[in-house]
Amino acid sequence: MTDDELLDQVGPALSRMRRRTASSGGASVLRNVVLNVVADAGRVTVTGLAAQMGVAQPVASRVVAGCVTEGLLHRVASQEDGRSVLLELTDTGLAEQTRLAREQRRVFEQITAHWAPSDRIQFADYLVTYAADSARWSAARSEES
């Protein structure tokens, strides 16, 4: 496979990874994304959440409503803008986000069990770096809009 052919496979590979390593226990991929975005942000509006998730606001609103019903998120008034409502994790939401992260680590370790330990750590480092860089890229794009 050429370098170009390999790079053309990055997007589909990331999509397959997300689908195949999604959390078990009934947690939807979108719910997991919501919990991670809110955990990263601390507090975020539904509009901001939708932008970070790359979905339409109604989609984010539906997932948020489910998370609120489940006691994973709660809504709080913004101190800067009383008209704005922010989302933040509840203690239950933080515990669930932590549980899902542990489960995902376990899955990662199972999938890469046959790898050399140094390869596993290097790939994890690249993956975490890629995620951080993609978050910065996404934030810069939304600021341009």
Q: What is the DSSP secondary structure assignment for residue 74, as one 8-state letter?
A: E
What's the pLDDT score for residue 19?
67
Q: Would you say residue 144 lies in a domain?
A: no
139, HSE (Cβ side, Cα atoms, 13 Å): 9
Does residue 142 lie within any of the structural domains? no
pLDDT top residue among 15 and 60: 60
pTM above 0.95, yes or no: no
pLDDT over 70 (residue 79): yes
Confidence of residue 78 (pLDDT cuts 50, 70, 90): confident
Who's near 138: CB < 8 A, 6+ residues apart?
51, 52, 54
Which residues have C-beta within 8 Å of that of residue 8, sequence separation ≥ 6? none
The answer to whether position 80 is within a domain reads yes
Give a yes or no: residue 35 inside a domain. Answer: yes
CB count, 10 Å around CB of 102?
10
pLDDT in tens, 87-140: 999 999 999 999 999 998 999 999 999 999 999 999 999 999 998 898 888 777
In a domain, 82, yes or no: yes
In the chain, the N- to C-terminal Cα span, in Å, equals 37
Work out how many domains the chain is built from and give that number: 1
Tell whether the model's pLDDT for residue 45 goes beyond 80.
yes
- The reply to whether 135 falls in a domain is no
pLDDT tier for residue 4 given thresholds of 50, 70 and 90? very high
**Cβ atoms within 10 Å of 135's Cβ, excluding its own:** 13
The CATH number of the domain holding residue 90 is 1.10.10.10
Q: Is residue 81 part of a domain?
A: yes
Asked if the structure places residue 33 within a domain, the reply is yes
Give the domain range for residue 29.
Answer: 22-111
pLDDT digits (tens, 9 = 90+) for 12-41: 888 887 766 665 555 588 899 999 999 988
